[in-house]
Chain A
Amino acid sequence: MLIIGEKLSIIAKRVREAMMKKDKGPIQEIATRQWKEGSGVIDANIGPAEDGGEDLMQWMVTTIQEVVPLPVCLDTTNASAIEAGLKVHNNQWGRPLINSTSNDPERFPILELGAKYKAYVIGLTVGKGGLPADAGERAAIAADIMARAMEYGVPLEDLYLDPLVLQIATSQDHALKVIEAVKMFQEMNDPPMKTVVGLSNISNGCPKHVRPILNKYYFLMLMNAGLTSAIADAHEMAEAMSEKKLLDDVLAGKTIDNPAKMTEITKTLDVIMGKTLYAHSYLEM
């Protein structure tokens, strides 16, 4: 399981301020921590970055790789910022990852960059016309992206399919559809296609204390479905791994030693699998 450390995102206030001031300290501190906690790639999410995106991405890539011997995931919709980042990326630590192409024609040029710089590319299974309705629609879009990747010269082994995790608080039925899509994606090629998710979106909008619980058990469910990698908090995922046996026992219908944990896992699984309707207080019911 490859963890792509998610913490360096422009959405976080501290990171955004550091990006604006080009203050290396917080960026390197967070990157180092993610690396120590088990990330294999560091995500650098600079947002749409319409102005000065090229400079910012180069600064991010070099700032991260100065202290962390890992590849970087270049996360922006600005293709020229991605290319700028790819030019300075130190491939000694591994090949870079691009986040992302999709079935939207505006995102096709990303594949050219992937081929040119031999980068891994994330293919988000959405088109121009809104969100996919179910696993089948995600797979159909995945097939389009795969065909296009080959056409542009990106080998299928270098493509990560992303089924698009949605918020459980508003789109509960998609939690299971995404798990199903991860299974379907793997069957679309031999060797199986690689998969990735933006994990923490599952708990976006949920109360703060509920978020790590949903993140962890959803991650383990995806892992059981064969997920290859996740953009996630490495610390949280390490914790998840330490609870994997508990979750598998609950799934197998066994009673585990820790009743509080058993309840927490059972209720969370019920919500993920759509057996109970999500509410912010679901753990208290």
Chain B
Amino acid sequence: MAFTPAKETYSGKVYSVAIGTGEGTGTVGGENVLPFHSFEGAAPNRPVIAFEIQDVPPADWPESVKKPFEAVSDDPVKWARFCQDELKAKAIALRLVGTHPDRENRSAEDAAKTVKDVLAAVNVPLIILGSNHAEKDAPVLVAASEAAKDKNCVIGKAQEANYKTIAAAAMANNHKIIAMSELDINLSKQLNILITQMGFEKERLITDPMCSALGYGLEYTYSVMERIRLAALTQNDATMQPPMLGDIGMYVWKVKETQAPEADLPHWGSLEERGIAWEAVTATALLVAGAELLIMRHPKAVEEVQKTIEELI
């Protein structure tokens, strides 16, 4: 007798969220099955990986991930073009880390100018991130939203402390937003509810349950993502149906395993390979947990994850 695989049917579906404009438009989500379970239903869109770039040179990145960008990372425009043209990025995530009060403390106006310049240089979808300083992010992301008006960007991250300002600006300028809560599924749902209660459509949200790197709490992120996806698909919970983001790079490239030199820890093997593997493994785990949008740094790690996606899809 022929083997018939058991199939689950799901009552819910992840929203299909289009980002960017024109030829470069991308879409995330849209599936009505668990990750890579396309044999059970429809998964029309592959996960999208965005390359991370910054408004200021990446002084705090470890050498091995700084190196691939050393010719371009002094200028966000060159950096963005490099990612699009050379690395064939499907999306770019511009982190305005230089606006952080403890960093260069760049102004909202400066940030807005960077956004404009980058948008003028590339046509792939742009994710615009603050410096994760809830207070400063509010004016920075408002200015960034205005500067990117009608470009259908993804603005983030809206958190409990600042979501009202950011969501209002994103709504007025036709963007999507990332809603981030701190590794708590119930608070993640609550934030999505609060944002939609402002009149922001839930189909324009992306959920960030907060990332963590392999060895540094990845299992928590994994578990929250998995439960969010199950609530979306099996309980048809509309508040949990936005696509999910894994903001991988910034967590991976600050852990010991991606920084400790071979001279100190020869048994850990090549530092460069180790870092790439760390980022690729973290990213792959979160894809399996349900993330549809990833932000990553190292080109080789992205390449590995792309390969994995092609194999699994």
Contacts and interface: CB of A to CB of B under 8 A. Distances in A.
A31 B197 CA distance: 42
A93 B207 CA distance: 57
Given A169-B186, A172-B186, A277 B240 contact: yes
B194 A277 contact: no
B239 A170 contact: no
A260 interface: no
B235 A279 contact: no
Interface string B203-240: 00000000000000000000000010001000101011
The 8 closest A-B pairs by CB, nearest first: A279-B189, A279-B190, A281-B193, A277-B231, A280-B190, A278-B186, A277-B189, A279-B186
B186 A285 contact: no
B186 A281 contact: no
A189 interface: no
B185 interface: yes
Interface of B: 184-187, 189-190, 193-194, 197, 227, 231, 235, 237, 239-240
Nearest to B240: A277
Contacts of A275: 235
A276 B237 contact: yes
Contacts of A257: none
A170 B186 contact: yes
A284 interface: yes
Given A275-B235, A279-B189, 10 more contacts: A170-B184, A276-B235, A276-B237, A278-B186, A279-B187, A279-B239, A280-B190, A281-B190, A281-B197, A284-B193
Contacts of B240: 277
Nearest to A281: B193
Contacts of B189: 277-279
Interface in A40-86: none
A268 to B, nearest CB: 15
Interface string A244-285: 000000000000000000000000000000011111110011
A11 B154 CA distance: 45
Nearest to A169: B186
Contacts of A285: 193, 239
B159 to A, nearest CB: 16
Nearest to A205: B186
> Which of B186, B190, B197, B231 has most A Cβ within 10 Å?
B186
Given A169-B186, A170-B186, A172-B186, A281 B194 contact: yes
Contacts, number: 35
Interface string A159-171: 0000000000110
Contacts of B185: 277
B180 to A, nearest CB: 16
A129 to B, nearest CB: 20
A interface SS class:
loop
A61 to B, nearest CB: 40
12 contacts: A170-B184, A276-B231, A276-B235, A277-B186, A277-B227, A279-B187, A279-B193, A280-B186, A280-B190, A281-B194, A285-B193, A285-B239
Nearest to B184: A170
A277 B197 contact: no
Contacts of B193: 279, 281, 284-285
A255 B162 CA distance: 41
A167 to B, nearest CB: 10
Nearest to A173: B227
A73 B130 CA distance: 54
A271 to B, nearest CB: 10
A202 to B, nearest CB: 14
Contacts of B197: 281, 284
Nearest to A278: B186
B3 to A, nearest CB: 34
Nearest to A277: B231
Contacts of A279: 186-187, 189-190, 193, 239
A280 B189 CA distance: 9
A169 B185 CA distance: 10
Contacts of B231: 276-277
Contacts of A281: 190, 193-194, 197
A203 B193 CA distance: 19
B220 to A, nearest CB: 13
A285 B189 CA distance: 11
Contacts of A277: 185-186, 189, 227, 231, 235, 237, 239-240
Nearest to B237: A277
Contacts of A170: 184, 186
A59 to B, nearest CB: 41
B104 to A, nearest CB: 37
A281 B194 CA distance: 8
A180 B186 CA distance: 23
A18 B187 CA distance: 36
Nearest to A168: B186
A285 B197 CA distance: 10
Nearest to B230: A277
A108 B149 CA distance: 67
A172 B235 CA distance: 15
A193 to B, nearest CB: 32
A279 B190 CA distance: 5
B266 to A, nearest CB: 39
B298 to A, nearest CB: 35
A276 B235 CA distance: 7
Contacts of A278: 186, 189
A275 B235 CA distance: 7
